[in-house]
Amino acid sequence: MTQPVSSKQGLSGLLVVDKPLGWTSMDVVRLVRRRAGGTKTGHAGTLDPLATGVLVCCLGRVTKAVPHLMGLTKVYEAAVDLSAFTDTDDREGGRIEVSVGTAPDEVALRKAVEFFVGSIEQRPPAYSAVHVGGRRAYERARRGETMDLPPRVVTVNAIEFLEYVWPIARLRITCGKGTYIRSIARDLGRRLGTGGHLHALRRTAVGSYDLSLAVDVEEMKRKITQSDLHPPPEDA
Can you give the CATH number for the domain in which 220 is found? 3.30.2350.10
In this predicted structure, what is the pLDDT of residue 148?
A: 67
143, 181: one domain: yes
Please report whether residue 121 resides in a domain.
yes
Based on the residue annotation, tell me whether 48 is a catalytic residue of this protein.
Answer: yes
Distance CA 168, CA 78 (A): 10
Top-confidence residue, 132 or 167: 167
Please report whether residue 1 resides in a domain.
no
In this predicted structure, what is the pLDDT of residue 160?
A: 97
Q: What is the pTM of this model?
A: 0.89
Please report whether residue 224 resides in a domain.
yes
Number of structural domains the chain divides into: 2
212, 171: one domain: no
In this predicted structure, what is the pLDDT of residue 164?
A: 98
Q: Which of 38, 37, 41 is nearest to 28 (CA)?
A: 41
Please report whether residue 4 resides in a domain.
no
Q: What integer is the mean pLDDT of 34-52?
A: 95
In this predicted structure, what is the pLDDT of residue 3?
A: 44
| The one catalytic residue among 18, 27, 48, 216 | 48
Q: What integer is the mean pLDDT of 81-106?
A: 95
Q: Are 156 and 64 in contact (CB under 8 A)?
A: no
The DSSP output letter for 7 is B
Distance CA 37, CA 49 (A): 25
Residue 187 CA from chain centroid, whole number: 17
Domain that holds residue 213: 13-71+207-228
Q: Which of 190, 148, 146, 198 is nearest to 169 (CA)?
A: 198
Q: What integer is the mean pLDDT of 79-104?
A: 95
Q: What integer is the mean pLDDT of 190-197?
A: 98
188, 223: one domain: no
111, 146: one domain: yes
Please report whether residue 164 resides in a domain.
yes
Sign of CA dihedral 100, 106, 110, 113: positive
pLDDT at 110 over 60: yes
43, 86: one domain: no
pLDDT per position as a tens digit, 151-175: 899 999 999 999 999 999 999 999 9
Q: Are 29 and 41 in contact (CB under 8 A)?
A: yes
Please report whether residue 196 resides in a domain.
yes
pLDDT at 141 over 80: no
pLDDT at 52 over 70: yes
pLDDT at 47 over 70: yes
Give the model's confidence band at 181: pLDDT under 50 very low, under 70 low, under 90 confident, else very high. Answer: very high
93, 198: one domain: yes
145, 198: one domain: yes
pLDDT per position as a tens digit, 212-232: 999 999 888 889 999 999 999
194, 114: one domain: yes
Contacts of 107 (CB under 8 A, 6+ apart): none
Q: Are 41 and 59 in contact (CB under 8 A)?
A: yes
pLDDT at 127 over 80: no
Please report whether residue 235 resides in a domain.
no
In this predicted structure, what is the pLDDT of residue 98?
A: 96
